[in-house]
């Protein structure tokens, strides 16, 4: 389960780890030792996602199985989506769901270590490592036993220039385990104040895995997953809120237990620059060719950039820079070449002939070479900076590199780092944040399509210059951010604050367009009408407020600021450098509520019996018979799949009457060829119900 959203069980980003962990993957070792690190098998995934507008709350519930003879301590390093925050952690102990408490970091670490050293039972600790990275540790994980942990995080979703909202859940298991997950349930509930259209997923061609349920114009649900399935790509959802560019969408929340407290709000300011769909892009691809880039990293970067070049439009222009302790570029002069087929293939040939690892890593030289290009004022200007994440010669500080960028950037170029197989991300996160860009993480095991999809998503987000948002009704205070980067992607135009009134609020967005003309949008936002029961609206504001206080603390450390940050962290359950989430065996029990239940109870309207014989032999020309029962007439589709979920044979597909039925399988595929002996799965789907049966085939 790769990337950016990375998340869940006992996990820590080990200092000096070679790569970031994927969402939901768990590494473990014997406590207190440097024993070999084991990948613990993911056995169950249960995830519920609630999306209101562009605010997503993801609740992950996973189990991991320890196939080893030793009691282990688990470490999970995960990278959340940019701007995401964790606000929930639960540990299952002896069948009971124990909730977290927020503690000062030093106290939480002391309590956790005392449990591990004393060999007492069941602690878990979650700490922030900064830049959307978190460390979660859990102990113990007994031999040949499982551990179940839940975590919840929230973030705002990107909006591409065609008005599409995107959500990604990391599912890619490649590079972590080769066995299928015993059961997976991913349910996504979406509600929107605006009508929703064009709902798509990257699994739409597999109705056995992915099912949509539409509840009118403003609400829909996605149900994804099955039993005994292996995943080689992330899950991606996209949908379009109608007329999103004509309003400032918003959400507000008021604490029902404290009526006197002011409300909280989030407001999005989507803007589609004139002719955005035909706006040209000037793109500079800066590729790290230093000695720290291994063969696999070089291959991933090369293949991804070549594929992206071939997706460019003829109105785009591009340039390629390779750097180590020196830099070479194509074309050799400072020009950007039009993205014609001929020029693209010349650029591809340059990469294939020239791109190889060697030398030290000089970011200053790379930024100078990339920014030397002759950018067009009217174009979207972006630098894709592909690297493993750390300079070791020349200027290496954030301040020094930002100074180099500012000295060499006349028009405003967005910096979009792509970090490949590395957790050395702090420096490039800071640079991207200051220059209006975003970081894309590429994990070891990510397929080429996944890498390209992540990068292209950022390229498809429009950007504007010098954006300013002002609230003019006098009803808001403590609004963040206090300012935007000078060149910002429109998906970053999100503000959050406190609200003291109930009247509609006039909100103004001002920016400069490609012709350097001032553009204004003044819209009335009725926050009272945008009320939601998602308390993460308050948490989103608290995270922004804490971020502002942390910046002040970095400039002038003092105990008063630190205590204010800790108090906000405890009240709103937001991790900070000074706090941690801690779960101990004596923490309060927090039974799951019906609203949090991931999987609905499936009535016995459909039942699937066991096949007989099982296993069955190909050499005897036998067939295996599978009984099933329907409580009413309904459509039925029954297929045989291999362990990767690929359909081998369709056994039934159509309406069937109520009552008992059976199908048989002779061990042959759809072409009449005998299958290879091994494990196969029979999958019955009827409406929203899916049942799965494991079958063994012998010679």
Instruction: Give the pLDDT of residue 526.
Output: 95
pLDDT in tens, 624-648: 888 888 888 888 989 998 877 788 8
pLDDT greater than 70 at residue 597 = no
The reported pLDDT for the residue numbered 592 is 65
- The pLDDT-based confidence of 20 (bands split at 50, 70, 90) is very low
pLDDT higher than threshold 70 for residue 590:
no
pLDDT in tens, 21-48: 345 567 777 776 666 677 788 888 999 9
Higher per-residue pLDDT: 426 or 375: 375
148-159 per-position pLDDT tens digit: 888 899 999 988
Find the range with the poorest average confidence among 5-9, 101-105, 415-419, 682-686: 5-9
Task: Of 83-97, 217-231, 591-605, give the lowest mean pLDDT range.
Answer: 591-605
pLDDT of residue 78: 59
pLDDT at 195 over 90: yes
**pLDDT at position 14, please?**
25
Higher-pLDDT residue of 508 and 101 is: 508
> For the ranges 8-17, 487-496, 666-675, which has the lowest average pLDDT?
8-17
CATH fold of 280-461 reads Rossmann fold (3.40.50)
- Of 274 and 616, more confident: 616
d(CA 421, CA 423): 7
Within this chain, domains 26-159+170-232 and 606-698 share the same CATH topology: yes
Helices (H), 355-447: 363-371, 398-408, 426-434
**382 or 73: which leads in pLDDT:** 382
Average pLDDT over residues 602-608: 64
Give residue 587's pLDDT band: very low, low, confident or very high (50, 70, 90).
low
CATH class, 26-159+170-232 region: mainly beta
Residue pLDDT, tens place only, 101-144: 888 888 877 877 776 655 544 566 666 666 666 667 777 788 88
- The answer to whether 501 and 473 are in contact (CB under 8 A) is yes
What is d(CA 271, CA 195) in angstroms, rounded to the nearest whole number?
Answer: 18
- The secondary element (H helix, E strand) that includes residue 463 is strand 463-471
- Non-local (6+) Cβ contacts of 448 within 8 A are 300, 303, 304, 307
* Domain residue spans of the chain: 26-159+170-232, 280-461, 606-698
> In this model, does residue 225 exceed pLDDT 80?
yes
CA atoms within 13 A on the CB side of 334: 9
Q: Report the distance separating Cα 139 and Cα 525, nearest Å.
A: 48
Distance of CA 298 to the CA centre of its chain: 24
Classified by CATH at the fold level, domain 606-698 comes out as Immunoglobulin-like (2.60.40)
Contacts of 558 (CB under 8 A, 6+ apart): none
Express each pLDDT in 661-670 by its tens digit.
889 998 888 8
Tens of pLDDT, residues 522-577: 999 999 999 999 999 999 999 999 999 998 998 899 999 999 999 999 989 888 88
pLDDT bin (cut points 50, 70, 90) of residue 19 is very low
Instruction: Show Cβ contacts of residue 210 under 8 Å, excluding neighbours closer than 6 positions.
Output: 201, 203, 204, 222, 223, 224
Q: What is the pLDDT of residue 516?
A: 76
| Nearest residue to 393 (alpha-carbon basis) of 419, 369, 367, 364 | 364
pLDDT of residue 131: 61
CA 409 – CA 373 distance, rounded (Å): 10
Does the pLDDT at position 5 exceed 50?
A: no
Q: Please, which pLDDT band fits residue 18 given cuts at 50, 70 and 90? A: very low
pLDDT in tens, 419-466: 888 767 778 888 988 887 888 888 766 666 677 777 777 777 777 888
Confidence band (pLDDT; 50, 70, 90) for 280? confident
């Amino acid at each position: 389960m790769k990337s950016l959203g990375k998340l869940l069980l006992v996990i820590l980003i080990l200092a000096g780890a070679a790569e970031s962990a994927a969402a939901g993957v768990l590494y473990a070792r014997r406590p207190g030792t440097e024993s070999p690190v084991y990948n613990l098998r993911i056995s169950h995934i249960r995830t519920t996602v609630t999306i209101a507008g562009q605010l997503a709350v993801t609740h992950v519930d996973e189990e991991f199985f320890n196939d080893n003879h030793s009691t282990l301590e688990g470490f999970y390093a995960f990278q959340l989506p940019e701007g995401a925050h964790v606000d929930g952690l639960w540990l299952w102990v002896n069948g009971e769901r124990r909730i977290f408490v927020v503690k000062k970091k030093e106290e939480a670490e002391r309590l956790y270590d005392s449990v591990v050293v004393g060999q007492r039972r069941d602690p878990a600790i979650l700490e922030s490592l900064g830049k959307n990275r978190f460390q979660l540790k859990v102990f113990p994980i007994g031999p040949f036993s499982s551990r179940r942990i839940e975590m919840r995080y929230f973030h705002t979703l990107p909006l591409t220039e065609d008005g599409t909202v995107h959500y990604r859940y990391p599912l890619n298991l490649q590079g972590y385990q080769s066995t299928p997950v015993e059961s997976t349930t991913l349910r996504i509930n979406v509600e929107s104040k605006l009508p929703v259209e064009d709902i798509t997923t990257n699994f739409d061609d597999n109705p056995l895995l992915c099912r949509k349920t539409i509840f009118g114009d403003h609400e829909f649900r996605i149900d994804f997953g099955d039993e005994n399935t292996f995943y080689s790509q992330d899950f991606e959802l996209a949908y379009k809120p109608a007329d999103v560019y004509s309003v400032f969408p918003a959400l507000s929340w008021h604490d029902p237990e404290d009526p006197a407290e002011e409300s909280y709000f989030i407001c999005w300011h989507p803007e589609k620059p004139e002719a955005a769909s035909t706006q040209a892009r000037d793109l500079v691809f800066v590729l790290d060719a230093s000695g720290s880039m291994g063969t696999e990293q070089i291959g991933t970067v090369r293949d991804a950039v070549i594929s992206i070049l071939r997706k460019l439009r003829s109105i785009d222009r591009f340039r390629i820079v390779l750097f180590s302790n020196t830099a070479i570029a194509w074309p050799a002069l400072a020009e950007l070449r039009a993205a014609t087929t001929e020029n693209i293939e010349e650029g591809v040939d340059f990469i294939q002939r020239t791109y190889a690892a060697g030398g030290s890593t000089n970011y200053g030289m790379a930024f100078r070479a990339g920014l030397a290009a002759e950018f067009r004022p009217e174009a979207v200007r972006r630098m894709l900076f592909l690297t493993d994440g750390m300079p070791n010669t020349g200027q290496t500080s954030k301040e020094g590199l930002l100074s180099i960028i500012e000295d060499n950037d006349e028009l405003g170029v967005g910096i979009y780092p792509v970090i490949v197989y590395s957790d050395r991300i702090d420096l490039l996160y800071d640079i991207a944040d200051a220059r209006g860009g975003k970081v894309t993480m590429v994990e070891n095991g990510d397929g080429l399509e996944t890498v390209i999809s992540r990068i292209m998503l950022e390229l498809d987000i429009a950007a504007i210059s010098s954006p300013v948002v002002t609230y003019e009704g006098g009803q808001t205070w403590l609004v963040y951010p206090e300012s935007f980067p000078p060149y910002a992607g429109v998906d970053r135009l999100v503000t959050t604050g406190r609200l003291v009134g109930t009247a509609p609020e006039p909100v103004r967005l001002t920016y400069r367009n490609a012709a350097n003309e001032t553009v204004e949008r003044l819209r009335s936002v009725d926050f009272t009408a945008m009320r939601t029961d998602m308390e993460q609206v308050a948490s989103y504001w608290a995270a922004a407020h804490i971020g502002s206080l942390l910046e002040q603390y970095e400039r002038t450390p003092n105990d008063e600021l630190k205590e204010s940050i800790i108090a906000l962290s405890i009240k709103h359950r937001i991790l900070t450098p000074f706090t941690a989430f801690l779960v101990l065996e004596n923490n309060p029990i927090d039974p799951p509520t019906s609203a949090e239940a991931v999987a609905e109870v499936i009535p016995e309207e459909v039942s699937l019996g066991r096949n007989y014989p099982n296993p069955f032999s190909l050499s005897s020309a036998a067939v295996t018979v599978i009984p099933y029962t329907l409580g009413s007439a309904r459509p039925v589709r029954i297929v045989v799949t291999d362990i990767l979920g690929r359909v081998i044979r369709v056994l039934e597909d159509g309406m069937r009457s109520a009552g008992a039925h059976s199908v048989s399988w002779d061990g042959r595929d759809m072409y009449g060829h005998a299958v290879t002996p091994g494990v196969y799965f029979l999958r019955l789907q009827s409406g929203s119900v899916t049942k799965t049966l494991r079958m063994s085939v012998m010679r």
